[in-house]
Amino acid sequence: MLLSLDELAVRFAAAARALWPDAEPIVQFEPARRVEFGDVATNVAFGLARIARKKPQEIAAEIIARALEDDAVRATVAEATPLAGFVNLKLQPAFWQRVVADVLREGERYGRGAATGERISLEFGSANPTGPLVVVQGRTLSIGDTLAKAMRHAGYDVFTEWIINDAGSQMDALGRSVYARYRQLFYPATPFPEDGYPGEYLIPVAEKVHERNGDVWLRVPEDEAVLTLAQFARDTIVAEQQEVARRFGVEYDLWQSEKALHDGHAIERGVERLRELGVLYEKDGATWIRTTDAGDDEDRVVIRSDGRPTYFANDVAYHYEKLQRADHVIDILGPDHHGYIARLKALANAYGRPGAIEVILAQQITLKRGDEILSMSKRAGTLVTLQEVIDEVGVDAARFFFVMLSTDQPLTFDLELAKKQSNENPVFYVQYGHARIASVLRKARESHAEQLAAAERGEGLGALIDPSELALSRKLAEFGSTVAGVARARAPHRLPKYAREVASEFHQFYDACRVLTSDPATTTARLGLCIATRTVLATTLELCGVSAPESM
């Protein structure tokens, strides 16, 4: 009987407890650091050193000897070696052959986690409705959507949302900017507001107003015109943002208007709940919340002395709403939101839900084209839009590049590299692996149809014994734990890394082993491995929001 890695962990933990009954050993097998050390390893011996009063190397040797008394362990493990205190195992080829069989049987369901029952509110990409989406939103869109897909695959119930920041001073600045552009259509010398949005993207908005209403807004008080034009610009820009997000492969469960929260009295409800919980206090005629208790540098005003809510009051309202429908709230924000971490942590504490709000900061992006660094500033009107990036490099390359690095690392995005049709381009390298498999399978349908049908049924996998075949199978086995790790650590960058590793192992296998041979058994087994690899690559790319092409 072959054991799974989880079952092996249980047997090795039992062996440790048998040797040291007072111990609580934690056994978790991970891929070995180097292939010559074995397939998997665990550091359980280090955690037992104090109780056993021995060196980890000696502890590891004793655990191995005890575990190998188990017939099922011996049937699964080809070699077990204590090395530098680690328990290193080389598993039987049949173990890895079974991995391939599992992928073939489960298909796109392979690696899915059982339902956790945990409801996650995931907000990402949110931007002011004052201009087109830019590359910063491109990164948060990619990170957020990839994380959402991975968490769903891992068994979480994820609800995605975008907050439209359409309440506050930026709306007044937007209205006055559009009004200036509108007047410039009639009077070119009309000055532009100093705190406006000078980008040319507002000119088409003003032209739409002119097409609809002619010169009517020249004949009403400016304040009235500004208010109406701000709403028109908001609706126009949000519609464009939604269209670009959809083109980018991102769909949201909710686009939440901040103004709607105001109009629906959500701010009053959120603040009142804080008042009921006794976490607010009055000072200088204003209402404050103690956020210093959670590490904020100062307490925050929620309601000003004149009765108007602060911007933080919007966060109070929105997060109160989110906490009503989710067990855990995750906000993915830009690098300039570091101060939000402590205050949102304080907000979760205040609502009696410590730890329920989590903030992930996606660090800054530098965009370049070859050696040229591109300038990006909405206020200066020199922004590079996400739409332009998609037009230049395509959705696949943009999605892959935006999510390649950890959120806490600044990202340099080279547009020239993203367009290269060579192995230097990481997304091309991975997609070429999938296309290469598709090509092999097309040929097999013509020349080895019987073996292909057998491979699709998962037959003949016992012939997979070549080192490159087993190395690829070992990499496929990591898919489920990789996705679970992405979800648990909020680390979507691990998926493109894993995709590149699978593609690399496949290319090495393909170079070492001819797939379509004169030997039916060999051909059947290798076709099965190809089909399993195609499944894992396609699923990994899908989680990244990247297509898996059949040809390139």
Could you report the per-residue pLDDT of 434-443, keeping only the tens digit for each?
999 999 999 9
| Residues 107 and 130 reside in one and the same domain | no
CATH code, domain carrying 145: 3.40.50.620
Residue 448 has pLDDT above 60, yes or no: yes
The count of domains in the chain is: 4
Can you list the alpha helix ranges (DSSP code H) found in 326-466? 340-350, 386-393, 395-403, 415-419, 426-447, 449-456
CATH code, domain carrying 504: 1.10.730.10
| Residues 183 and 136 reside in one and the same domain | no
Residue 477 · residue 99 · CB < 8 Å: yes
Last residue of a domain, one of 183, 207, 242: 242
Whole-number Cα distances in Å, 482 to 55, 194, 310, 333, 543 = 32, 50, 42, 24, 12
Read off the pLDDT of each residue in 202-229 and give the average, rounded to a whole number. 95
Least confident of 32-41, 290-299, 327-336: 290-299
Residue 483 has pLDDT above 70, yes or no: yes
Residue 366 falls within a domain, yes or no? no
Residue 550 falls within a domain, yes or no? no
Residue 408 falls within a domain, yes or no? no
Residue 163 has pLDDT above 80, yes or no: yes
| Residues 229 and 270 reside in one and the same domain | no
Total-model pTM: 0.92
- The mean predicted confidence, pLDDT, of the chain is 94
Residue 260 falls within a domain, yes or no? yes
Residue 231 has pLDDT above 70, yes or no: yes
| Residues 81 and 129 reside in one and the same domain | no
Residue 377 falls within a domain, yes or no? no
| Residues 334 and 252 reside in one and the same domain | yes
Check residue 330 and give its pLDDT: 98
Last residue of a domain, one of 325, 341, 361: 361
Check residue 115 and give its pLDDT: 96
SS3 label, residue 37: helix
Residue 382 has pLDDT above 70, yes or no: no
Residue 417 has pLDDT above 90, yes or no: yes
The DSSP line for 270-323 is: HHHHHHHTT-EEEETTEEEE--GGGT-SS-EEEE-TTS-B-HHHHHHHHHHHHH
| Residues 516 and 428 reside in one and the same domain | yes
Tens-digit pLDDT profile for residues 50-103: 999 999 999 999 999 999 999 999 999 999 999 999 999 999 999 999 999 999
CB atoms within 10 A of CB 186: 11
SS3 label, residue 154: coil
Least confident of 16-25, 47-56, 379-388, 505-514: 379-388
> What are residue 280's DSSP bridge partners?
289
Q: 220 — phi, psi (to 5°)?
A: -125, 160
Residue 375 has pLDDT above 90, yes or no: no
Q: Give the DSSP H/E element, type plus range, for residue 263.
A: helix 258-263
Q: Per-residue confidence at 380, pLDDT binned at 50, 70, 90?
A: very low
Print the domain residue range for 208: 169-242
Q: Give the DSSP H/E element, type plus range, for residue 328.
A: strand 328-333
Q: Per-residue confidence at 1, pLDDT binned at 50, 70, 90?
A: confident
pLDDT above 90 coverage of the chain, percent: 81
| Residues 448 and 536 reside in one and the same domain | yes
Residue 418 falls within a domain, yes or no? no
Residue with the bigger pLDDT between 345 and 475: it is 475
Tens-digit pLDDT profile for residues 254-287: 999 999 998 999 989 989 998 898 889 999 999 9
Last residue of a domain, one of 361, 381, 401: 361
Residue 300 has pLDDT above 80, yes or no: yes
Check residue 312 and give its pLDDT: 87
| Residues 434 and 520 reside in one and the same domain | yes
Q: Report strand pairing: 119-123 vs 157-164.
A: parallel
Q: 107 — phi, psi (to 5°)?
A: 60, -135
Residue 527 has pLDDT above 50, yes or no: yes
Check residue 377 and give its pLDDT: 58
Q: Per-residue confidence at 350, pLDDT binned at 50, 70, 90?
A: confident
| Residues 354 and 497 reside in one and the same domain | no
Tens-digit pLDDT profile for residues 3-13: 999 999 999 99
Which residues contact residue 419 at a Cβ distance below 8 angstroms, ignoring those fewer than 6 apart? 392, 393, 397, 425
| Residues 123 and 62 reside in one and the same domain | no
Residue 202 has pLDDT above 70, yes or no: yes
Q: Give the DSSP H/E element, type plus range, for residue 473.
A: helix 467-477
| Residues 357 and 269 reside in one and the same domain | yes
Check residue 376 and give its pLDDT: 65
Going 93 to 94 to 100 to 103, the CA torsion angle's sign is negative
Residue 411 falls within a domain, yes or no? no
Q: How far apart are CA 408 and CA 361, in angstroms?
A: 7
Residue 434 falls within a domain, yes or no? yes
Residue 369 has pLDDT above 70, yes or no: yes
| Residues 154 and 267 reside in one and the same domain | yes
CATH code, domain carrying 53: 3.30.1360.70
Residue 22 has pLDDT above 50, yes or no: yes
Read off the pLDDT of each residue in 523-533 and give the average, rounded to a whole number. 98
